[in-house]
Amino acid sequence: MTTLSALNRLAASLLFSAVSFSGAWGADAASCKTIHMSDPGWTDITATNGVASVILDALGYEADIKTLSVPIGYQSMKNGEVDVFLGNWMPAQKAFIDELTNAKAIEVMNRNLEGAKFTLAVPSYVAETGVKDFADLRKHADDFDHKIFGIEPGAPANSNIQKMIDANDFGLKDWKLVESGEQAMLAQVERAAKSKSAVVFLAWAPHPMNERFPIEYLSGGDAYFGANFGGAEVYTVARTGWPATCPNAATLLKNLTFEIGMENTLMGAILGGEDAKAAATTWLKANPKAIEPWLAGVTTLDGKPGLDAVNTSLGL
């Protein structure tokens, strides 16, 4: 019995030493400090990356965010150069996800947004002329100068539009896809609105464009964008193996979910010129209750209570 007690004391001592050395159960290794993330240049992902960055900073991590197109971002994840992506829009990115899943290159961590949508839209004054469906575009081709305005080259949504044009669906074979960044596309919409001229473009929610411009989403594009006006869900994905290597940071990112109204607010601030982390900090200070479920089971990098660290960092 004495020997058994001694062994128990020795085991407890070793366990205490191990925990003291690592910080605490659940704490990540120092190699997890920098988390490599991607941003395709979309304001919604810039906003969510901003929120993640503020919280990660408070926990002792550092988010290294690189601006990469969707195809390059996924390839970088496959190559191990990107750890996490918060912008897996589904079903628009299904082809990418299927390929990466077959290659066992990614892990789906969670669904971080519901209620999103993504399809073609026109200003409301154009809809009033009778353009309410994809099939209506052909009849007004000259008004639109046979152009559809998309986002950055390589975006899956652009590919869908080009497939539609190539297939001559809706009689659009003579139309041209104009690829540009999100801001350039919206600048075109703004110019058109000033002169009340026709323009058709990619639109989505969440995004402040829904409040900035009176717009109407077109029906009829289910084959290319999905049902319910391109109804979408957004997922957080990680390169295979990263969640197991950095379980504490992974727990945070699995917990991290967003809402349409929240993202609209953050995106509006960013489009107004505010830094993403500054906009996120302002929102988090105004909505402290949102933080608690995100920090469930999460510690700082060195193993201290995560929620306390974040609240202290935000001055809550």
User: Rounded CA gap, 140 and 167, in Å?
Assistant: 19
Cα distance between the two ends of the chain: 52
Does 175 have pLDDT greater than 70? yes
Q: What is the pLDDT of residue 26?
A: 55
Prediction pTM value: 0.76
pLDDT in tens, 4-56: 444 444 444 333 333 333 334 457 989 999 999 999 999 999 999 999 999 99
Ranges of H-type helices in the chain: 2-22, 43-58, 70-78, 94-102, 124-127, 156-166, 182-195, 209-212, 222-225, 227-230, 242-245, 247-255, 260-271, 276-286, 291-294, 306-314
CA distances from 184 to 92, 188, 191, 200, 281 (A): 21, 6, 11, 14, 27
**What's the average model confidence in pLDDT over 52-73?**
97
Q: What is the DSSP letter of 7?
A: H
User: At the top level of CATH, which class does the domain 30-114+233-314 belong to?
Assistant: alpha beta
Q: What is the pLDDT of residue 211?
A: 84
Q: What is the pLDDT of residue 11?
A: 41
The matching CATH number, chosen from 3.40.190.100, 2.60.120.330, 3.40.50.720, 3.20.20.70, for 116-230 is 3.40.190.100
Q: What is the pLDDT of residue 242?
A: 97
Which of 142-151, 224-233, 251-260, 298-307 has the least mean pLDDT?
224-233
| Residue 42: both structure tokens together | 């979309």
User: Rounded CA gap, 24 and 112, in Å?
Assistant: 28
With contact defined as beta carbons under 8 Å apart, do 100 and 185 qualify?
no
Domains 30-114+233-314 and 116-230 share a fold: yes
| Residue 218: both structure tokens together | 């077109």
pLDDT in tens, 104-128: 999 999 999 999 999 999 999 999 9
The residue extents of the domains of the chain are 30-114+233-314, 116-230
